[in-house]
A and B are shown apart, each in its own frame.
Chain A
Amino acid sequence: MGIDIKSVNKRFGGFEALRDVNLSVAPGEFLALLGPSGSGKTTLLRIIAGLEFADEGQVLFDGHDVSERSVRDRHVGFVFQHYALFKHITVAKNIAFGLEVRPRASRPSRQDIDERVQRLLQLVQLPGLGGRYPSQLSGGQRQRVALARALAIEPKVLLLDEPFGALDAKVRKELRRWLRKLHDEMGITTVFVTHDQEEALEIADRVVVMSKGVIEQVGPAQEVYDQPATPFVYDFLGNTNRLPASVRGGVANVAGLLVPAAEVPDGPGIAFVRPHEFDLRPSGTYGGIEGTIAHVFANGPILRIEVNVPAVHVAVDLQVEVEAMRQGVDGLSLTRGARVALAPRNIRVFPDR
């Protein structure tokens, strides 16, 4: 099923949670809503589910307006951050819940319900645990039960609110890859909320980056990472160096280095370069920013190098972080105080507001 969000606005008292949000989710797509806390990503997910209602705008499921429909009638599978399992009933009863509360006319038979529960337990790899209570399961197991419970009502959309947020790092990694595989087998349209960029970039087809109630960028994971559309996305996704620049006539001067900046108006600007997008060259090489090595931290095969760029070309001293593979810098002397040139492979300039 496809989902369309049209011009959605939402306020909580004086706080603007969502501002004119438009988004389309293709049928069968796996979409991540990514952003820091307070960015509106969870509010957007809850509005899609019908747990929250937009002040203005529409939510369409396959072209039908469901904006006023209650969560009960939307048939979405919702997985909560803290699982929200019913503690007083068994795992099997939890999974069967959505079927058992149906009106008699549309309720499957006892036998059908039992069979479906068994199938779902198999699917989430918890066969034989149907008789346990939620408190007897680990966090990862609980989240899989929550998923099975949501899938039991055969929803056309699966919505997950920070589904792995409460799990430890190792389980989180396993579970998200498993979820991706499950999605590929079932093909159900899935939207999940996360503040973990690694999670979003690794498993989502497309990533929606949000900040302060606004969508900053939508695109395939790799594209969003490689070509951030706004300074916020640059900052939020991965490490980055912010270098002051001055722009004149479509050319930016970044600490003495001239870079094309065709769409940036004249005036102060900010250039972004990720630490691993620098090449380290011998001092004096053309096309590099000259600096002095301040610190070298060796982390396995990766070197993290802090380079001081003196305030010759810029207003203040800069410290630039560079990441390089150890074998890529053979022949350079990387001791403290040594002079090097930093040649950016990828640099993007934005106006400084």
Chain B
Amino acid sequence: MSWSTARLRQPSVIPGFRLTLGFSLAYLFLIVLIPLGALLLKAGELGIGGILDIAVDRRVLAALKLSFGASLVAALINGVFGLMLAWVLVRYRFPGKKIVDAIVDLPFALPTAVAGITLATLYAKNGWVGSLFGPQTWVGSLFGPKGLMIAYTPLGVIMALTFVGLPFVVRTVQPVLADFDAETEEAAASLGASRLSTFIRVIFPALLPALTTGFALAFARAVGEYGSVIFIAGNIPMVSEIAPLLIVTKLEEYNYAGAAAIAVVMLAISFVLLLVINLLQRWNQARMRA
């Protein structure tokens, strides 16, 4: 880099740099960074040892396990079905396709509390879906004398988290699949590859980065989700209590430091997971581009 370009900003004739950047930074600090700083400060009062003490408390540990475990399962479900949905939406023609495509975004638009009470009602013992799995039904009896309980169990948590994460995989895979070069698929076929082996060897590897991104987004969203979960979860400590709810509980007990500690632990775990995924992605892209 030469000396003339080694300054903080390259010259431009367009006015407003100081104004727009200054305002943006001030707003960013006031709304986001200073409040998040307060969180770190509060958690910092406990020290690393204090935070860890709270994190390994049995109830907290169970909540963290549920939050991250259920989010992982939900993101995996969405990975599989989201890929399938993206495939169907891009590759096939059927009546009402535009409406189906539009409705995929419903979980983004529907307030979480509405989703929460609705899912709880649907999956409750006497709800539309829940009653299908009761002890008196054929399907339910497969799961033992009590039938399959969905609401107020970890399974209900997974259902709610699947709902909120549904659009992510579809929306990240869809454009990549639509842009996928038809010639590449034809090349595989002309070399004698079957449809399945074309998918496994050629199409899937090309979709994998987008699929991973979608998975990561769905996972991250699910870990922090609150509104759609608390109604269906039943919030039984050690069983179906998610970590964000525990933060709220601590706050209601005026245990600010405890709430801050759980929040910091959640953020740290999410951050590390997303960092790993990001590094994997980068390594993969660097390999292909170089």
Task: Show the binding face of A for B, using Cβ within 8 Å.
Answer: 49-51, 70-78, 80-82, 84-89, 97-98, 101-102, 133, 135-136, 146, 149-150, 152-153
Contacts and interface: CB of A to CB of B under 8 A. Distances in A.
Q: By DSSP majority rule, is chain B's interface helix, strand, loop, or mixed?
A: helix
B189 interface: yes
Given A84-B181, A97-B201, A49 B287 contact: no
Nearest to B287: A133
Nearest to A136: B290
A150 B205 CA distance: 21
Given A82-B181, A135-B288, A153 B192 contact: yes
A97 B194 CA distance: 12
Residue among A71, A85, A88, A135 facing the most chain B CB atoms (10 A cut-off): A88
B43 to A, nearest CB: 42
B188 interface: yes
Which A-B residue pairs are the 5 nearest by beta carbons? Answer: A98-B191, A84-B183, A84-B187, A101-B193, A78-B190
Interface of B: 181, 183-184, 186-194, 197, 201-202, 205-206, 287-290
A45 to B, nearest CB: 12
B184 A71 contact: no
26 contacts: A50-B190, A51-B189, A71-B190, A72-B193, A72-B194, A74-B190, A76-B190, A80-B183, A81-B183, A84-B183, A84-B186, A84-B187, A85-B187, A89-B205, A97-B191, A98-B192, A101-B188, A101-B192, A101-B197, A133-B287, A133-B290, A135-B290, A136-B290, A149-B191, A152-B191, A153-B191
A54 B159 CA distance: 49
A312 B108 CA distance: 78
Given A72-B193, A153-B191, A101 B290 contact: no
Contacts of A75: 192
Nearest to A93: B201
A71 B288 contact: no
Contacts of B205: 86, 88-89
A315 B194 CA distance: 64
Contacts of B192: 72-73, 75, 98, 101-102, 153
B131 to A, nearest CB: 47
A95 B192 CA distance: 13
Given A87-B288, A135-B288, A82 B183 contact: yes
A279 B287 CA distance: 62
B186 A97 contact: no
A231 B287 CA distance: 53
Nearest to B290: A136
A86 B188 CA distance: 9
B290 A78 contact: no
A249 to B, nearest CB: 56
Contacts of A102: 192
Nearest to A98: B191
Given A97-B201, A135-B289, 11 more contacts: A72-B192, A72-B193, A72-B194, A78-B186, A80-B183, A81-B183, A84-B187, A101-B192, A135-B288, A150-B190, A153-B192
A251 B186 CA distance: 54
Contacts of A88: 205-206, 288
Nearest to A82: B183
A162 B97 CA distance: 36
A98 B190 CA distance: 8
Contacts of B191: 97-98, 101, 149-150, 152-153
A49 B56 CA distance: 65
B250 to A, nearest CB: 47
Contacts of B193: 72, 97-98, 101
A86 B184 contact: yes
A84 B184 contact: yes
Contacts of A136: 290
A71 B181 contact: no
Contacts of B194: 72, 101
A53 B183 CA distance: 16
B186 A71 contact: yes
A97 B188 contact: yes
Query: Which residue of B181, B183, B194 has the most chain A CB atoms within 10 A of its CB atom?
Result: B183
Contacts of A76: 190
A245 B191 CA distance: 54
Contacts of A49: 190
B286 to A, nearest CB: 10
Contacts of B287: 133
Nearest to B182: A84
B202 A133 contact: no
B229 to A, nearest CB: 37
B184 to A, nearest CB: 5
B202 A86 contact: yes
Nearest to A155: B190
A161 to B, nearest CB: 9
Contacts of A152: 191
Nearest to A81: B183
Contacts of B289: 135
Contacts of A72: 189-190, 192-194
Nearest to A96: B191
A153 B183 CA distance: 18
Contacts of A70: 189
B239 to A, nearest CB: 43
Nearest to A46: B186
